[in-house]
Amino acid sequence: MGTRWIALLVFAVWGAVIAGTFLRYGTSGEKIFSNPRNKRIFYEPRGQILDRNGTVLAHGDGSNRYYPLGKATSHVLGYFNPKIGAGGMIEGNYGHLLREISQTKYLYFINRPSHRASLKTTLDVKLQRAADNALGEKKGAVIVLKVETGEILALVSHPSFNPNGLDRDWKRVIALQKEAPLLNRVTSGHYSPGSVWKVVDTLCLLEKGDPGKEYYCNGIYTIGDREIGCPVPHGQVNGLEDAFVRSCNSYFIDRIIKEVNPEEFFRVSSIFAKQKTNERMNSQDYALAAIGQGVIELTPLEGALLAATVANKGLMPSPVFVLKEHLQGKKILNEANALQLQRMMVDVVKRGTGRGLTGFISRKYKIGVKTGTAEKRQSGNDKTNIAWIIGFAGKKEPEIAFATVIEETTGYGGEVCSPIVRSVLTTYFSGAK
Amino acid sequence: VLYRKTFTVSDENMLNRLVGVICTAYILALSIIYFEFRKNIQFLDFAILLSFCPLLWSIVRAGKRFEYQGSLNLLMVSALLSSIGIVAQFRLNLRAKGLLGSMLTQTQGIPTAISHLVFSEVALCLVALALYSGAMSKMVDFIERKTGALFWGFLSFAFLALPLFLGKPVGGTFSWLVGNSVQPSELVFKVSFAIFLAKFLTNREFEITPEGQDPRWLLMPLGVLIFLTTVFFFVPLVLLQREFGTALMISITLIVVMTVATGRWIFLAAGVVTMVLAISLAVLVSHRVEERIVGGFLNWREYAFREYFEGSGNWPGYQVFKSLAAVDSAAIWGTGLCKGITRVSHATTDYIAIPIMEEFGIIGLLILLASFLLFIKETFSGPLKKDFVGFLLICLPFGILCQAFYNLSGVLAMVAFTGIPIPFVSNGGSAILSNYLLVGVLSAALQMRRDLHLAETDPWGGYR
């Protein structure tokens, strides 16, 4: 073969490499191409978003993207609009699964995708709607997830926005800085957990081996020049379980400060929540951290995962939004401690601050919660409460975990959040098979 | 169609059929685009673009009238590529000032499809007339007899130095003239560099390719060639114009031509090593080259969404990302005509292959590759002598082939890309004229080779 034919061959091979590169990028499905900042995808066909039972939650392309449930699903589905981009949990993070690539194989000039690239989520539209209705006009968040798989069944954050035609409403929505309707409070709302953090205190004490210490609560605990107290004096507290059920601040401060090393406490805390610890912290800060104030901050999602870890016998599930997605959970607690905590949380419903949910106990369901109330300073000397409930529920064994938080309330966790949880659980048990 | 044409285009019926196929596909594509986007496209533009077909037909007819004995193969391939370019420009429906735009209007420019059409038609007519009248052959003959390599070297240097005195800087380069519309480096790379190279190789054919000689014999002529190329081409391009892309193209063409002309593969290996070293040096010395290599080639994913810190543009990686995202969208079969999303900047020039590939998928890419391969196919279809015409037949097509393949490799992020348009398809003024001039010289050279071959094999010229 002459040199010139070899040269031709070299170019032919170069051409084949070009074609190969084209095929590589054309079929690789690299996630970067589906990044919401890639403006191309706003103009491409986009698949439907479905709930776990096939109910359509979002459909249409480009500026005609429509969300039938409107505000009720705004944070979990997000938004998709050529003028403002893509954002939120599903539209913002799972765009690569929603893009429709033409699958025409033989009829070259007929551009018709052979399948709809719909995405089946883990959401349950009934629970989602129930949580949204239960939350009503209150500012706060609700999340429900399955304890074993971490599948998110409902995720609601209020105030919310209407994702339909959001481009027309965009300027007004982003101007509402105080309400922050675009903020997904479930994943990005960092709140002081208050007494909910006693779940972590209890874990620390159980791991050290609980000697069943008794304590007398006079309503006030003094550290240096600062007095930290309980809402009411609890009087005689008969051990850890009693303190947990009655949510006695003084008991937990006393034992955590005296028995648990701060490094160990913050190490366990960091498994479940973000914290703003620093080297200048003193014993007062540590005492406040023990009752979920000060440096400890928890999102509702983290609260639900904390409850799910207890309900799942110490195995923390990874939250997932897509039905086919399954992530490996992490073993956090030993099973015996987790089961003991479960019993304590059930007792909170039976005789503690979660008595508003005893109806489920009488119907033989298994339900356990921990309530919490954290103070939040507003302008001047005004204070409002952040009300919490985290917990789990199931017919015989824990099936779902949940967290509810309400901002800017004057009530306490149990009284403010219980009606919301009751409504969500009623919907869940009415549809549970 | 292209395959059959290569062997049977001398047949008049086949030529007519070929023009018919090109024109039908062209009109069909324009019509589909017009009806799809008729709200945004003026009917007058559509009507003007249709004039390409009667013009092509007239050129073929005129060849018969002038009793032109040469081959129209390369002119037909060029016309096919131009028609693809015009359709792609019409589909993009963008405006640009360019050479024609700045002459006709001072504000928003004219549609790039119209500009492309006008330059293609003018160039096609001029080259066809020059071929039919024999002027092109006479010109090649004149170049062969009356000029030398040094003349073309000095001429190229003068052309490349012109923008320093008459032009303004554009995007960090000093390579444009006449209101940033004419790029002399196009003409230098396409035509005068090839002639310089052919002349040099012709003068030293016995030194370059001695039979059975010690390869070390080559060092001297090779050193002279590299020295002259550096002085006449690399110095003005890199140091004066800061036009790295054309310098790179000249390097690639030089390596390929030296390898093919001498049949010594050592040139390819040595050339590649030298180029790698030169690029490494350029990365160390030039911040602009470093950006191209790092931001646009090696780490494009990291720079995909990053704003450029100087000026208003983005990192080269942003452009690479957008072109690859289009390929991702095209998958294998493309999105279909008019269904693509043209979101690549420089879509009418350097990145024109991307919208074509996006809408026509692998078929569109293969048509482009095959069309350009036909340029060397034609060269190799006859005997190659080691004379001026023989070397010209190597230098010219490999120049255009390297440019096309480099462009397609660049837009697919296979190599660091430095603003090289795809011949005949990308929008341009001086670039299109240079391409057609190259085709004219190449066709004339082919005709001369055929005549010479005929004279050698049949001294009676058929009159026995």
pLDDT in the model for residue B11: 64
Q: What percent of chain B clears pLDDT 70, i.e. is strictly above it?
A: 86
Write b or e for each residue in B384-400: b if 16 or more Cβ atoms lie within 10 A of its Cβ, otherwise e. beebbbbbbbbbbbbbb
Q: What is the pTM of this model?
A: 0.74
Asked whether the bond before A45 is cis by omega within 30 degrees of 0, the reply is: no
CA distance B189 to B222: 20
* φ/ψ (deg, to 5) at A387: -100, 135
Q: Which stretch of DSSP H or E encloses residue A229?
A: strand A226-229
Q: Which of A144-148, A318-322, B101-105, B138-142 has the lowest mean pLDDT?
A: B101-105
Cβ of B380 and A8 within 8 Å?
Answer: yes
- Taking CA–CA distances from B303, the nearest residue in chain A reads A32
Which residues neighbour A153 within 8 Å (Cβ) at sequence distance 6 or greater? A52, A122, A123, A124, A127, A128, A144, A145, A146, A400, A428
pLDDT digits (tens, 9 = 90+) for A82-118: 888 888 888 888 877 787 655 544 445 554 554 456 8
Alpha carbon of B461: minimum distance to chain A alpha carbons (Å): 29
B window 320-379, beta carbon within 8 A of A: 321-322, 324-337, 339, 341, 343, 357, 361-363, 365-366, 369, 373, 376-377, 379
Alpha carbon of B263: minimum distance to chain A alpha carbons (Å): 5
pLDDT class for A142, splitting at 50, 70, 90?
very high
pLDDT digits (tens, 9 = 90+) for B387-444: 888 888 888 888 899 899 999 998 898 888 877 899 999 988 888 999 999 999 999 9
Cβ–Cβ under 8 Å, residues B81 and B423: yes
- Chain B residues within 8 A of A18 when measuring between CB atoms: 365, 369, 405, 408-409, 412, 414
CA distance B269 to B250: 16
pLDDT class for B246, splitting at 50, 70, 90?
confident
B371: nearest Cα among B401, B399, B416: B401
Mean pLDDT over B114-143 rounds to 93
E-strand stretches of B92-150: 95-96, 110-111
**Per-chain mean pLDDT for chain A:** 85
pLDDT at B51 over 90: yes
Cβ of B327 and A102 within 8 Å?
Answer: no
Cβ–Cβ under 8 Å, residues A412 and A404: no
Cβ of A33 and B328 within 8 Å?
Answer: yes
- Chain B residues within 8 A of A61 when measuring between CB atoms: none
**Helices B112-132 and B430-457 sit at what angle, rounded to 10 degrees?**
30
* φ/ψ (deg, to 5) at A278: -150, 175
The ipTM, to two decimals, is 0.84
Cβ of B361 and A39 within 8 Å?
Answer: no
Residue A12 contacts B where some CB pair is shorter than 8 Å:
yes
* A181 C-beta neighbours (distance < 10 Å), count: 19
A214: nearest Cα among A229, A234, A197: A234
Residue A66 contacts B where some CB pair is shorter than 8 Å:
no
Which residues neighbour A74 within 8 Å (Cβ) at sequence distance 6 or greater? A67, A88, A160, A161, A162, A163
- Taking CA–CA distances from A43, the nearest residue in chain B reads B341
**Helices B388-411 and B135-146 sit at what angle, rounded to 10 degrees?**
110
